[in-house]
Amino acid sequence: MKWLEALGGKVYLWMADMGRVLMFLFQTVRWATGRPFYIKNLLKQMEQIGVNSVPVVLTTALSTGMVLALQSYTGFKRFGAESLIGAVVSLSMTRELGPVLTGLMVAGRAGASMAAELGTMKVTEQIDALATLATNPIKYLVVPRFLASIIMMFFLTALGVFIGIVGGYFVGVKVLGTNPVVYINQSIDNTKVSDIWYGLIKALVFGAVVGLIGCYKGFNTEGGAEGVGKATTGAVVVSCMLILILDYFLSALLW
Amino acid sequence: MSMIEIISVHKNFGSQHVLRGVNLSVEQGESMTVIGGSGSGKSVLIKHIIGLLFPDRGRVVVDGQVVNKLDEQGLNELRKKFGMLFQGAALFDSLTVWENVGFALKQHSRHSAKEIREITTEKLSLVGLKGVEDKMPSELSGGMKKRVGLARAIAMGPAIILYDEPTTGLDPIMADAINDLIIDLRKKLGVTSVTITHDMHSAYKISDRIAMLYKGEILEVGTPDEIRKTNNPIVHQFITGSAVGPITAE
């Protein structure tokens, strides 16, 4: 029965941790309203999380769009359905791959950076120092990162989807020789405005996950350099897991 | 009148009972030093005074207000009366020296950036620093960081200053310079101060009274002379720094 006890212990710890994350979310939302607003901090975070993530998101989206076109061409050619490549690329990028891949990339880049920065601030008592200077650390540090993460994930996903579709078009039309008019018509006919919104709603949720988990892990860092390392790894792993798990439920909900 | 009263404070971290009914009062304008070994609960105690930690049982009263009963706004208002120097200075490493020192002024006063810069320069000169305003914390030595931390602590004109191991990690000359600075600031600003340290040279020099914290309880409180002449074997062993006695290295 020892394994059952160990399993129960793990589940208990996981539930307790989730409870603390929800409390942290509640506090963040609470402090996001009301003055003062740290606009300068928000803009700085939008640059760090959003603008600095553009190269990695563009590369991922472009590669995915191109590979998707190439792979679906290989499969569809067997059924003589090459004309549907545009629709497949467009739908996949808007509803699924755009938001999920952008979420994973931003979690790896910006989520890790957030956890490492805040974790270092925690272990060097900078967060305590902030509190002693009568400034709420959640309002000053977490709220700008949380909001910037949500806002920039929206725009990064929109950019990623567009670039992925452009990459798919390039491979489908310029490399594989599909008719450009058919390609574009198929893309437009099969992609509704609601598909674009579904993808962008997912992006907003994933942005909240990356911002929340990155900050939570940073704020709960214990120990020295080892603790910062664990917090950084934890932020990336938990954010990525949550993005993948929530992706299923959001897909089911927004079907 | 007591500026700070710590009344029967207990604090647990999991199964670890760190503070076991601490009682201590600090008078207005007094310099109180809490001494004790590593892990005796000194840092935990000082964090209770400024509301970074809250007691599981007992009360902390500062300037007539019960710290553990205050809401967030009340706590922030109370914290404006404090300045705190952290062990590692805890300077914000993404901000320059003058932005660090002027941080609270920027957040809580209506001074213009130019005025904040002037006040910052004045506070930095009070701690013996000139021409470092635009440096980043990473460009400063350990002693300079402590001085900047001190300038930040006094920027808002606090009534109480808390010093967390102010001389730890400094060479003996720099440590003594920090001691002189603490005494000098107290004379100039008339503040109440609470220092935690295990540096006995510093404790004798800067304190009106010294309290010994041992295993989560205050063992003895007295003037530096009274502490020097103590009959308590634990306090005696600690202040003489002997490895032989009731306190064992753990």
Enclosing domain of residue B31: 1-76+203-250
Q: Report the alpha-carbon distance of residue A118 to residue A123 in Å, rounded.
A: 9
Question: Cβ distance A117 to A11 under 8 Å?
Answer: no
Question: Cβ distance A114 to A145 under 8 Å?
Answer: yes
Nearest C-alpha in B relative to A131 = B52
Nearest 5°: the CA angle A172, A176, A182 is 50
Residue B19 lies in a domain: yes
**Closest partner CB to B82 (pick from A125, A132, A135):** A132
Q: Is A59 on the interface with B (CB under 8 A)?
A: no
Q: Is A36 on the interface with B (CB under 8 A)?
A: yes
Categorize the per-residue pLDDT at B127 as very low, low, confident or very high, splitting at 50, 70 and 90: confident
Q: What is the pLDDT of residue B181?
A: 86
Residue B238 lies in a domain: yes
CB atoms within 10 A of CB A192: 12
Q: Is A41 on the interface with B (CB under 8 A)?
A: no
Inter-chain touch B88–A125, beta carbons under 8 Å: yes
Q: What is the pLDDT of residue A150?
A: 97
Domain boundaries, chain A: 40-253
Q: What is the pLDDT of residue A227?
A: 93
Residue B141 has pLDDT above 80, yes or no: yes
Inter-chain touch A36–B107, beta carbons under 8 Å: yes
Q: Is A39 on the interface with B (CB under 8 A)?
A: no
Q: Report the alpha-carbon distance of residue B194 to residue B197 in Å, rounded.
A: 10
Q: Is A133 on the interface with B (CB under 8 A)?
A: yes
Q: DSSP 3-state assignment of B65?
A: strand
Q: In what order do the strands lie in the sheet with B65-66?
A: B16-27, B2-13, B57-62, B65-66
Residue B32 lies in a domain: yes
DSSP label at residue A111: I
Q: Report the alpha-carbon distance of residue A182 to residue A123 in Å, rounded.
A: 59
- Mean pLDDT for chain B overall: 90
Q: What is the pLDDT of residue B60?
A: 95
**Closest partner CB to A132 (pick from B84, B87, B107):** B84
The per-residue pLDDT for range A75-103, each reduced to its tens digit, is: 888 887 878 888 999 999 999 999 999 99
Nearest C-alpha in A relative to B75 = A134
Inter-chain touch A134–B107, beta carbons under 8 Å: yes
Is the peptide bond prior to A36 cis by the omega test (within 30 degrees of 0)? yes
Q: Is A128 on the interface with B (CB under 8 A)?
A: yes
* Neighbouring residues of B49: CB distance < 8 A, sequence distance ≥ 6: B4, B6, B60, B62, B67, B160, B162, B194
Predicted TM-score (pTM) of this structure: 0.89
Residue A244 has pLDDT above 80, yes or no: yes
The per-residue pLDDT for range A161-218, each reduced to its tens digit, is: 999 999 999 999 989 888 899 889 888 988 889 999 999 999 999 999 999 999 999 9
Residue B124 lies in a domain: no
Burial B50-84 (b: 16+ CB within 10 A, else e): bbbbbbeebebbbbeeebbebeeeebbebbbbbbb
Cα dist from A9 to A5, A71, A217, A235, A238, whole Å: 6, 45, 21, 22, 19
**Closest partner CB to A128 (pick from B52, B76, B83):** B52
Q: Which CATH number goes with the domain that contains B55? A: 3.40.50.300
Residue B187 lies in a domain: no
Q: What is the pLDDT of residue B250?
A: 60
Inter-chain touch A132–B79, beta carbons under 8 Å: yes
Averaged pLDDT for residues A151-162: 96
ipTM score above 0.95: no
Chain A residues whose CB is inside 8 A of the B47 CB are 128
Chain A residues whose CB is inside 8 A of the B108 CB are 134
Cα dist from A98 to A156, A163, A200, A218, A254, whole Å: 9, 9, 9, 27, 15
Inter-chain touch A131–B90, beta carbons under 8 Å: no
Q: In total, how many domains does chain B have?
A: 1
Q: DSSP 3-state assignment of A103?
A: helix
The per-residue pLDDT for range A56-74, each reduced to its tens digit, is: 999 999 999 999 999 998 8
Q: Which amino acid is at B21?
A: G
Q: Report the alpha-carbon distance of residue A192 to residue A75 in Å, rounded.
A: 24
**Closest partner CB to B90 (pick from A36, A124, A136):** A124
Q: Report the alpha-carbon distance of residue A147 to residue A253 in Å, rounded.
A: 24
The per-residue pLDDT for range A70-81, each reduced to its tens digit, is: 999 888 888 878
Chain B residues whose CB is inside 8 A of the A132 CB are 50, 52, 79, 82-84
